[in-house]
Amino acid sequence: MSSGKPSDAACAERDYGRSIAVVWLWVVPIMGLIAASALVNTNRTSLPVAGGAFVAGTLWIALGCLLNARHCGRLHCRLAAIAYPVLAAVGVAYVAGVVPRPLLLGLVLGGLFHCPCRRVRA
């Protein structure tokens, strides 16, 4: 008996993380984040410039997660699409001097805990 919902295999086929879209949705912004980090750590750019690149890259990744969540419905994608904009806001607050570094570190480390990648069942 079919419930009208796609199976996990069908969802996997629609996952952007398993297609060439992964390059534009996640690899490109991650490379930008790495480059911005290298530039600020070697004093070739200022923290506000690198912070702007971090925020833009994080929001780009969030957009990729949102698109993937709408496309395949994985729980991980839905949660990441919410968490990354929050992380970007914390980054803006840090660059602006509102959030101290220890709090920032705690928020980032808290975000490292990964949820299971399963499709949301309605």
Q: What is the mean pLDDT of the chain?
A: 77
Q: What is the model's pLDDT at position 113?
A: 46
Task: For residue 8, give the nearest of 115, 119, 122 by alpha carbon.
Answer: 119
Q: What is the model's pLDDT at position 8?
A: 61
List CB contacts of 42: < 8 A, sequence separation 6 or more.
none
Q: Tell me how far apart the alpha carbons of residues 80 and 114 are, in angstroms, rounded to a whole number.
A: 10
pLDDT in tens, 67-105: 888 888 888 888 989 989 988 888 888 888 887 766 656
Q: Are 81 and 64 in contact (CB under 8 A)?
A: no
Tell me the two tokens of residue 83: 């968490």
